[in-house]
Structure 1
Amino acid sequence: MPSRIPPLAITAYTATSALGRGRRAHVEALRDRRTGLRDNDFTAAPLACAIGRVDGLEAQPLPAEFAEHDSRNNRLAWLGLGADGFLDAARAAIDRHGASRVALLVGTSTASIGSTEQAHLALEDGRFAPAFASPALHTPHSLGLFLEHVLGTRGPCSTIATACSSSAKIFAQGERLIRLGIVDAAILAGVDTLCGSVLFGFNALELVAPEACRPFDVARRGISIGEAAGFALLERDGAGAPRLLGYGESSDAHHMSTPHPHGLGARLALADAFARAGVGAHEVDYVNLHGTATVKNDEVEAALLADSFPPTTRASSTKGWTGHTLGAAGILEAVITLLAIEHGFVPGTLNTDTRDPLCDARLALANEERAVRVALSNSFGFGGNNCTLAFGCAA
């Protein structure tokens, strides 16, 4: 088992999703039980499903100095950077520590593949049209290149693309870089936008529900796909800031798209998160579940919840609000977990009426007002890429 690690301060954090821009918009939507999901109006070809779409991205190109990076994904990143003063906080951290002492770690599963799709649909004499000719767009590291240009960081810059766990794992990578003395701070970014290949690809796998997703419901029929941008700033110290207490990562490699039937990888990630955080299951007030509303994911995670936590633990999936934001899901749900700690409430599980028999009363359906001191966020991705994050209230 890993050793306990010193907690790190999360000195700034924000999210932009179908619920709105910034922390306040998310808290208000969660408290009002107002979903961001709507009927699919994104794809030109018909696809009956619900999506979590951020409005206005098509009409807001990047500023001229960043034109070579212009894509839907980077536009969402730019929009999200400005929420809650995060861009100013990130630049202030770079000034404090020095550009070479700040890491930039990004999580995304699609990067700017939407622009590559558009480029292939608008070929000119078999070549990409000038509007799509920038090499910076057609790479998995598109998001990192763009944010490095915006922020001016000169420390380690990497992209993690492990499907749905991508932007949870950047918390773990940031902690290691700081603990090992390689950097003094880490800017974490998770961004994924809607695109045709993702929507139709998941539909081809028969994983997309025709209506808004219903996590852990006995009649659940699959996921609703969304888009989001989330950011966090990790530093050693920060008065009044919530803490990253620990994390656990695993890769069970059981199947390309199906979790291990006994959740072995998920259980290992949970155990390692407990060990690094130095907490036990009885100390956890809230668990933000991965809860995709697919049959197998929810089945495995429900068993993990029942086997690992006392009856007093509260848990929920928040994908009924935002949809499954893929590579951005980890950091979006980390932000929601931090909001639960900050505001003292447990968001329920939206759209779910009848719990699957594998679930029990630990799964909160309605919102609950209660103190949340220690909370977990699960992100379990394709290929068995699992990550559990442990957060705590300000020291």
Structure 2
Amino acid sequence: MEGRILQALHLSCFTAASCLGAGLEATLKALAANRSGLARCAFETVALATHVGEVAGVDDYRLPFDLADYDCRNNRLAVLTLEQDGFAETVRAAAQRYGAARVGVFLGTSTAGILETEQAYRQLDEAGAFVAPPVYEGSHTPYALADVVARHLGLSGPAFVVSTACSSGAKVFASAARLIGAGLIDAAVVGGVDSLCLTTLYGFNSLELVSPEPCRPYDSERRGISIGEAAAFALLERPAGELPPDAVLLAGVGESSDAYHMSSPHPEGRGAEAAMRAALVSAGLSPADVDYLNLHGTATPSNDAAEGQAVMRLFGRDVPASSTKGATGHTLGAAGALEVVIGALALKHGLIPGSPGSRALDAALDLDYVFTPRAQALGVVMSNSFGFGGSNASVVLRRADAKGHA
């Protein structure tokens, strides 16, 4: 989106589910109380000394009969979340207004339904064939996520899944904005869904990035990430008529790719800074206009240090900032969407979230880091999401009554 101002889009409805709870009320209460949902890992057969953010009730949730071919943990989490806060009903009403083919679906994920494939490989016969073959089309393939969401909501517009690691759930906001701006669709369901699986838990552990304690973003003694799962969705539409003052608008999106390393960010945070600057250009705003910055803040030494340097260059100590991953864990492909929803809640309720678990700011990072929640009127929020391979995205939200481009 760099180089041009984005036409602001209305987040007319949004919802989320994470280890903090399902729905906006549970999420807001936990954020206001500075409560973490992380707990010692007891997921599946995982034998790791770490903490995870598991969403309650996913194992027992059942998909509607017509979606039985899509049954997997990731899709159950998606549909469970769609049914929170009246989101599904609001989208179906939008489809009635615009036409089902004029509403797109753009979602982020990293592992989709790979857990079911992992489980299937445990059950092989003597010839090495599957006893219960995984359903590739309905679970393992990332596109299954967009397909199950579109089917559940009755949508037939353009649909695709972005899988750029931890920036996936943020980059879809740029994808949707481009298609709406081009006139190909009138509205879009955007979001991200990633569920716990063995691949990510053991994979990040093999990279020596998993913390043995609940993660402590930006802390001087941070020891790595805590993996979580989540789903988050928003309905994007062009603003219609006069909006209420607390309506939340997508004001800008910035993307960059520094391609510094397969799994490490540029040590000076060049890609992070480029994404944040592009987001501000897209929103027609300056750094001084941002009232709160939701940091990527994974709690690994290198990621926090790189992002922190970029923030210091761009904002200095002039913007309050925190990472909410101490509350939710790092939800990977869902993190961008989840933290956009958290940003939207912050705008509507005048709340800067804290950073559960973090105690003392890294002395090398001179930031206005928020450890405990602050009640403060907010007009503009930025949310950062940075992925492996230098795939970066920053999203700018603003209230309808805040200054900025319409």
Q: Scaled by the length of structure 1, what TM-score is found?
A: 0.97
The question of whether the paired residues in 1 share the 8 Å contact of 2:120 and 2:132 is answered with no
1:184-232 residue CA offsets vs partner (Å, 9 max, x unmatched): 0011131000001110000000000000000011110000000000000
- The residue identity in structure 2 corresponding to 1:369 is A
- State, as a whole percentage, how many aligned pairs show the same letter: 48
Q: Distance in 1 between matches of 2:135 and 2:305?
A: 45
* Residue aligning to 1:223: 225
Q: Which consecutive residues of structure 2, in runs of 5 or more, have no partner in the other structure?
A: 402-406
Alignment of 1:147-166 (within 5 A): 147-166=149-168
Classify the secondary structure of the residue corresponding to 1:223: coil
* Residue aligning to 1:390: 396
* Residue aligning to 1:174: 176
Q: 2:341 aligns with which of 317, 335, 357?
A: 335
Shift of 1:142: 1.5
* Residue aligning to 2:296: 290
Change (3 A) 1:254 1:361: closer
Q: Distance in 2 between matches of 1:129 and 1:149?
A: 29
Structure 2 residue 357 is the aligned partner of structure 1 residue 351 = yes
The question of whether the paired residues in 1 share the 8 Å contact of 2:50 and 2:226 is answered with yes
- The residue identity in structure 2 corresponding to 1:110 is T
Change (3 A) 1:133 1:354: closer
Q: Distance in 2 between matches of 1:295 and 1:134?
A: 37
Classify the secondary structure of the residue corresponding to 2:121: helix
- The residue identity in structure 2 corresponding to 1:280 is S
1:138-179 residue CA offsets vs partner (Å, 9 max, x unmatched): 312121121122122111111100000001000000000001
- The residue identity in structure 2 corresponding to 1:38 is A
Alpha-carbon RMSD: 1.3
Q: Distance in 1 between matches of 2:307 and 2:94?
A: 37
The question of whether the paired residues in 1 share the 8 Å contact of 2:34 and 2:355 is answered with no
The question of whether the paired residues in 1 share the 8 Å contact of 2:51 and 2:212 is answered with yes
The question of whether the paired residues in 2 share the 8 Å contact of 1:282 and 1:310 is answered with no
Classify the secondary structure of the residue corresponding to 2:138: coil
* Residue aligning to 2:278: 272
* Residue aligning to 1:132: 134
Structure 2 residue 243 is the aligned partner of structure 1 residue 237 = no
The question of whether the paired residues in 2 share the 8 Å contact of 1:68 and 1:134 is answered with no
* Residue aligning to 1:80: 81
Structure 2 residue 103 is the aligned partner of structure 1 residue 102 = yes
Q: Distance in 1 between matches of 2:34 and 2:345?
A: 15
1:213-255 residue CA offsets vs partner (Å, 9 max, x unmatched): 0001111000000000000000001423310000100111110
* Residue aligning to 1:365: 371
Classify the secondary structure of the residue corresponding to 1:58: coil
* Residue aligning to 2:143: 141
Q: Which consecutive residues of structure 1, in runs of 5 or more, have no partner in the other structure?
A: none
Q: Distance in 1 between matches of 2:57 and 2:8?
A: 38
Q: Which moved more, 1:134-143 or 1:224-233?
A: 134-143
* Residue aligning to 2:53: 52
Q: Distance in 1 between matches of 2:270 and 2:67?
A: 44
Alignment of 1:33-52 (within 5 A): 33-52=34-53
The question of whether the paired residues in 2 share the 8 Å contact of 1:69 and 1:134 is answered with no
Shift of 1:102: 0.8
* Residue aligning to 1:246: 252
Q: Which moved more, 1:20-29 or 1:128-137?
A: 128-137
Q: Distance in 2 between matches of 1:272 and 1:139?
A: 31
Shift of 1:11: 0.3
Shift of 1:183: 0.4
* Residue aligning to 2:404: none
Change (3 A) 1:367 1:122: same
Shift of 1:310: 4.5
Q: Tell me the number of residue pairs that the alignment of Structure 1 and Structure 2 aligns.
A: 395
Structure 2 residue 208 is the aligned partner of structure 1 residue 206 = yes
> Which of structure 1's runs of 4+ aligned residues deviate more than 6 A?
none
The question of whether the paired residues in 2 share the 8 Å contact of 1:346 and 1:367 is answered with yes
Shift of 1:130: 4.7
The question of whether the paired residues in 2 share the 8 Å contact of 1:186 and 1:233 is answered with yes
Classify the secondary structure of the residue corresponding to 2:378: coil
